Homo-oligomer: A and B are copies of this chain.
Amino acid sequence: MNVGIIGLGLIGGSMAIDLRRRGFADGIAGVESDSVNAAAAVKIGLVDRILTLEECVAESDIIVLAVPVGAAVKMLPQVLDLFAAGEGKCRKVVMDVCSTKENLSKTAHYHPVRQRYVATHPMAGTEYSGPWAAMPGLFDGRACIICNQEESDPSAVHLVEKLYDCLNMRPIYMNAASHDVHAAYVSHISHITSFALALTVLDKEKNEKHIFDLASGGFSSTVRLAKSNADMWVPIFSQNRDNVLKVIDTYIEKMNDFRKAIADFDEDGIRSLIEDANRIKRIIR
């Protein structure tokens, strides 16, 4: 199986590592607009070679679109156009791995070869980016969302399921709109709270040495996502604007509940908020 990966960052690169070493991919070609990242991806051995989009689509059986969602919305129709322009019935598959799904799904909805596209979101990542952030085993044991699968050919969905099975991921099926709601509620808001925490600490604590000294493991863990890359996150927040705004509003309410209980010396109120929050233990180990 020839795999083409468009965008050789953390996700694309980590997929390349496991798809190759676990035997899913015989050859892997990459498309990468950043020349430094492209050269690094070849040197590290993530991909065999860098191609243009056209060459990559021509040579690959399955194409993974692993660019930020703003770029993916532009490139998905280009890939589908290349599929449609090919000779005979197209058997190739394109999948994306972006964190918002509704916009992408709308973009492809009326395309004549829409059914060769499978919308997915593997729930894995780190706060690092670039080909040097790629790592083996990133996806092991995590969930992978497959959206609007009824709009894709069963054979295309099946191939994508095989790919994710090779990555040891557990598939979950959902429509694109509810994916975006749930992703805002769980994943997107935690990035925003972390960015806001970093901004707060950097603003209040001008002496960086103090931050370093007073940071226990807890602070590092809570602020970790604030290292995340703007290229990836700006289009996510834009494309999932309405859902993200709703969850920010709820978050600000909860923060104000805390503020009021502390301001009022209401120890029972603080205790009850903390104990309510502790229920997260039942879900996250």
- 8 A Cβ contacts from A192-224 to B: 192-205, 208, 210-224
Task: Choose one: B143, B200, B227, B270; the contact of A250 (CB below 8 Å).
Answer: B200
**A127 touches B (CB below 8 Å):** yes
**A1 touches B (CB below 8 Å):** no
**A226 near B280: Cβ-Cβ < 8 Å:** yes
The DSSP consensus for interface residues of chain A is helix
Could you say which residues of chain B place their CB within 8 Å of the CB of A199?
A: 254, 257, 273, 276-277
**A271 near B234: Cβ-Cβ < 8 Å:** yes
Could you say which residues of chain B place their CB within 8 Å of the CB of A250?
A: 200, 203-204
**A201 near B189: Cβ-Cβ < 8 Å:** yes
**A182 touches B (CB below 8 Å):** yes
**A238 near B265: Cβ-Cβ < 8 Å:** yes
Take A186-B211, A201-B189 as given contacts and tell me if A221 and B218 are in contact as well, using a CB distance cutoff of 8 Å. no
Task: Choose one: B172, B214, B237, B257; the contact of A186 (CB below 8 Å).
Answer: B214
In the complex, the chain B residue whose C-beta lies closest to that of A280 is B198
**B218 near A238: Cβ-Cβ < 8 Å:** no
**A225 touches B (CB below 8 Å):** yes
**B190 near A223: Cβ-Cβ < 8 Å:** yes
Which 8 residue pairs across A and B have the least CB separation, nearest first? Answer: A198-B277, A198-B280, A195-B277, A190-B222, A230-B274, A186-B214, A196-B254, A199-B254
Q: Spell out A's residues near B (CB within 8 Å).
A: 123-127, 142-143, 145, 172, 182-183, 185-187, 189-205, 208, 210-230, 233-235, 237-238, 241, 244-252, 254-259, 262-263, 265, 267, 270-271, 273-285
